[in-house]
Amino acid sequence: MRQVLLNLLNNAVKFTPPGGQVTLLVHLEQPEAYKDSDCIQPIPSGACNLCFSVLDTGIGIAAADHAKLFQAFVQIDSSLNRQYSGTGLGRMLVKQIVELHGSSVIVNSEVGKGSFTVRLPYACQAPNVIAAAPKMIPSEAFLLPNDRVLIVEDSTAAAEQIARYLRGCLESRIDRKKLTRLGCK
């Protein structure tokens, strides 16, 4: 999803003039809210949509040009090629990633403003349901009295950090002499 958001936000910033506005909205949509949504696959019971919307006050896209939006190597207006660089691959990638997640990109744009919305299936619980904490197994259950931990790390600093962490977690189980011999204090 990082790549989807980066591509949508980069395009919004690129095509919004100085003084314009780019907004990212993120929210969960409950099942009732998206019965008529543009999702490709049905959303299972107990699921929500995670919605990302990128809105801008940029140059916008005429409704007649929406079909060209997700084609590779296509810019909507060829006269913009000199002013705005780009190949259109980012938009195509966004569409493909979102479709792999079982959804689609919704375009709501006109000249002078626009938005791209992505709704992704997301497993969520009802707001009044609290999940029980998993049972914790004491760390001692995994170690026998003479067990040792071998830290294999190229960086001495990282090995020392790991050793400090393990000492804190398993103070009574780590052989201090062995750690000291390895250069960890």
Q: What is the pLDDT of residues 156-165, one digit of tens each?
A: 888 888 877 7
Is 134 contained in some domain?
no
In this structure, is residue 47 part of a structural domain?
Answer: yes
Residues 86 and 33 reside in one and the same domain: yes
Whole-number percent of the chain with pLDDT over 70: 58
Statement to judge: residues 145 and 119 lie in one domain: no
Cα 183 from Cα 168, distance rounded (Å): 17
CATH number of the domain where residue 40 is located = 3.30.565.10
Tokens 């006050």: give the residue. 57
More confident residue, 6 or 185: 6
Q: Give the pLDDT band of residue 125 (cuts 50, 70, 90).
A: low
Determine the average pLDDT of the residues in 113-139. 69
Task: Check residue 36 and give its pLDDT.
Answer: 53
Question: Quick one: 9 and 98 in the same domain?
Answer: yes
CA distance to 132, 135, 137, 138, per residue, from 141 (Å): 22, 13, 7, 6
Cα distance between residue 132 and residue 100, in whole Å: 32
* Pair 94, 39 in one domain: yes
Residue 170, domain extent? 139-181
Same domain, 64 and 22: yes
Do the domain assignments include residue 56? yes
99 and 10 part of one domain = yes
113 or 47, greater pLDDT: 113
Total tally of structural domains belonging to the chain: 2
Residues 99 and 65 in one domain: yes
Domain boundary residue among 123, 156, 173? 123
Please identify which residue in the block is written with the tokens 């299936």. 121
Dist CA 36 CA 161 (whole Å): 52
Q: Are residues 87 and 112 in the same domain?
A: yes
Place of tokens 């999940």: 131
Domain boundary among 123, 149, 166: 123
Compute the distance between CA of residue 92 and CA of residue 71 in angstroms, rounded to an integer.
6
128 within domain boundaries:
no
What's the predicted TM-score (pTM) here?
A: 0.55
Kindly state whether residues 115 and 150 are assigned to the same domain.
no
**Residue-wise pLDDT tens digits, 9-30:** 988 888 888 888 899 998 888 7
